[in-house]
Amino acid sequence: MHSPYALCKGSKGKPRLSYDWKLMLDQGRSRAYLDTWRAMERLVDTGKTKHIGVANFNARKLRCLLERARIKPAVNEIELHPYLPQTELLEMCREAGIHVIAHQPLGGPIVYPVFPTDDDRPLENPEIEKLANRNRRTSAQLILAWLTEQGVTVVPRTTRVIHLYENSQLKRVPSAAMAAMSSLSRSKGARRVPWIDEYFESQVFGDGKDPWTTRIEMMLEGRMPPPEYL
Ligand SMILES: NC(=O)c1ccc[n+]([C@@H]2O[C@H](COP(=O)([O-])OP(=O)(O)OC[C@H]3O[C@@H](n4cnc5c(N)ncnc54)[C@H](OP(=O)(O)O)[C@@H]3O)[C@@H](O)[C@H]2O)c1
């Protein structure tokens, strides 16, 4: 199940947008993820699939699902990178025997390169760069290895062969570097990729606004192009 929420249907198969171009949530269907899970359990019962899993489930929703599910999710695919270490959720999945997959492990692609700042994404973070240099790795390699050492599967995306190769050459991260990476988000607070909460009319993940609100404001003022899917 890609997300524990549902979008309102718009025209031509696209999601419906609010007056300020945000994706609208279908509140009724968003509450029905347990029904979706039951339908997925029937797929296992009838032999159509061996394993079923979820994505973007926070601790509260996962607990709710675990209390009622007949079949436990095999995986939870969640946004996970040094700016969003999700320690509690990771621990909860570990205890429940649910494998975690990190999506956007490098902090996602640059969506609007309007305000490129030093630490706009984990990949450009100077502290990560320093740690990576000290340990003879690239920032991407350090980030990915920091995740895999925590038992997490990573699904980085790239359009470049050189990055594909680089991302497959991971080495163990010394414990001091692991600890430094894990503490990175403490000073600034955990935050999601620059657009995720801004594209929904209401908070989908329930973890507060991130500092990229300005990007959407600029889009609304016509100072940057609207997102590609519009
Ligand atoms: N389940 C969900 O809700 C969900 C949500 C979002 C994404 N995902 C999945 O997560 C996966 C990754 O997501 P994503 O593409 O958004 O984020 P990502 O993998 O964290 O970041 C991709 C960006 O990193 C760059 N990159 C990759 N390797 C690099 C390297 N070695 N050095 C420097 N830059 C590097 C890529 O640029 P280049 O092309 O130039 O290398 C691209 O701009 C995808 O498979 C996606 O489908 C799942």
Is the CB of 123 inside a 6 Å radius of any atom of ligand 1? yes
Tokens of 188: 């600034």
Distance 46 CA to ligand 1 centre (A): 35
Q: What is the pLDDT of residue 185?
A: 85
CATH number of the domain within which 132 lies? 3.20.20.100
Residue 145 is assigned to a structural domain of this protein:
yes
Residue 187 is assigned to a structural domain of this protein:
yes
Distance 124 CA to ligand 1 centre (A): 14
What is the C-alpha radius of gyration for the chain, rounded to an integer number of angstroms? 19
Residue 224 is assigned to a structural domain of this protein:
no
Residue 223 is assigned to a structural domain of this protein:
no
Is the CB of 167 inside a 6 Å radius of any atom of ligand 1? yes
Is the CB of 106 inside a 6 Å radius of any atom of ligand 1? yes
The answer on pLDDT for 45 being more than 90 is yes
Which residue, judged by its Cα, is nearest atom 48 of ligand 1?
Answer: 103
What sign has the CA pseudo-torsion 196, 199, 205, 208?
Answer: positive
Q: How do residues 114-135 score in pLDDT, each as one tens digit?
A: 444 445 689 989 999 999 999 9
Is the CB of 109 inside a 6 Å radius of any atom of ligand 1? yes
Q: What is the pLDDT of residue 197?
A: 59
Cα(98)–Cα(101) distance, integer angstroms: 10
Report pTM: 0.86
Cα(33)–Cα(4) distance, integer angstroms: 6
The answer on pLDDT for 208 being more than 60 is no
| Residue to substitute in 157, 159, 205 for testing ligand 1 pocket (most ligand atoms within 8 angstroms of CB) | 157
Nearest-10 Cα torsion for 191, 197, 203, 207: 0
Any idea what DSSP says for residue 11?
A: G
Q: How do residues 146-185 score in pLDDT, each as one tens digit?
A: 999 999 999 999 999 999 999 999 999 999 999 999 998 8
Residue 226 is assigned to a structural domain of this protein:
no
Asked whether the beta carbons of 99 and 74 are under 8 A apart, the reply is yes
Is the CB of 156 inside a 6 Å radius of any atom of ligand 1? yes
Residue 221 is assigned to a structural domain of this protein:
no
Which residue, judged by its Cα, is nearest atom 19 of ligand 1?
Answer: 156
The answer on pLDDT for 35 being more than 80 is yes
Tokens of 195: 């657009």
Residue 230 is assigned to a structural domain of this protein:
no
Q: What is the pLDDT of residue 210?
A: 35
Helix (DSSP H) and strand (DSSP E) numbers for the chain: 10, 4
Contacts of 168 (CB under 8 A, 6+ apart): none
Question: 151 lies in which domain range?
Answer: 6-215
Distances (CA, A) of 85 to 75, 91, 169, 190: 17, 11, 22, 7
Residue 211 is assigned to a structural domain of this protein:
yes
Total domains in the fold of the chain: 1
Length of the chain as a residue count: 230
Is the CB of 160 inside a 6 Å radius of any atom of ligand 1? yes
Cα(88)–Cα(80) distance, integer angstroms: 12
Atom of ligand 1 nearest to the CA of 107: 20
Is the CB of 148 inside a 6 Å radius of any atom of ligand 1? no
Distances (CA, A) of 162 to 24, 143, 227: 39, 17, 28
Distance 97 CA to ligand 1 centre (A): 26
Distance 102 CA to ligand 1 centre (A): 10
Helix (H) or strand (E) holding 99: strand 99-103
